[in-house]
Amino acid sequence: MILDFDATDDAVHGNQEGRFYHGYYDHYCFLPLYVFCPAPSAGVQKQGCALSACATVKGGDKASLGVEDLVFAVKTWSGNYQTRVPVVQKTWATDAGNIIYYSDTANDDIPTRSTGVPNVKQGFCAKTYAIFRDLQDQYGDHPWFFIADDDSLLNVRRVITALSRLNVAADQPVLAG
C-alpha cells in the first residue's frame, strides 16, 4: 500500500487557537495533514485507504497505537543546525517521543547521526536509504518509522490518528511518502 502524506495551509482570519504564522505562505494558518491513496474509484474510497474507518496494524485495536510505536527521523544537514533544527525541536518534536536527527555530519549538541552521505542532490536517495537501514537496525522492534524533512511541521497526534485508521495486516509493509 502506498500513501501520500501532504500538508497544506488553511488560512485563518482571527486569533483561533492553534494558528501559527507560516513564512512560506506568508499568512497565519492551520497546517492540516492530508493522506491520499492513489487511484481511488470515482466517488468510492479505495479499500484499505487511510481515510477509511478500519482497524489498526497493531493488533486491530485503535486504542493500541501510541506515540511509543513511532520512531520519527528528521532528515537535516549541517547548514540547518542553527535555523531549521531548533524550530523542529521547539514544536512538534516535543510530542514525538522517539526522534532521531540524521545529517551529513554527526553533532553531539543536537544530537545528529551521520548518514555518511554528503549533502548533494545526488545524495538524496542515498541519505534516505541510509536512514531506513539505520532505523531498521536500531529500532526494528517499532511498528512505524516516520521520516520528515527539517522544514516539515507535523501534528504528531494527527499522524497517529491517520496511522491508526489503516486496515493492513501487521506483517504487510506500508510505504508513505
71 vs 62: CA distance, rounded Å:
18
Q: What rounded mean pLDDT belongs to the chain?
A: 77
Are 160 and 65 a contacting pair, CB within 8 Å?
Answer: yes
As a whole number, mean pLDDT of residues 56-79 equals 74
Element containing residue 20 per DSSP (H, E): strand 20-22
Task: Write down the pLDDT at residue 62.
Answer: 46
Whose CA is closest to 82, among 97, 61, 103, 62?
Answer: 103
Provide, rounded to the nearest whole percent, the portion of the chain with pLDDT above 90: 29
26 pLDDT more than 60: yes
- Which pTM was predicted? 0.65
Confidence at residue 40, expressed as pLDDT on a 0 to 100 scale: 46
| Location of C-alpha cell 528528521 | 74
Inter-CA distances, 157 with 53, 101, 168, Å: 17, 20, 20
pLDDT tens digit sequence for 70-104: 999 999 999 999 999 999 999 999 999 999 999 99
SS (H, E, C) 94-138: HHHCEEEEEECCCECCCCEEECCCCCCHHHHHHHHHHHHHHHHHH
pLDDT, tens digit, 9 for 90 and up, residues 106-137: 999 999 999 998 887 666 778 888 898 899 89
pLDDT at position 56, please? 33
Q: Running DSSP on this structure, what letter comes out for residue 140?
A: T
| Average pLDDT for 161-173 | 73
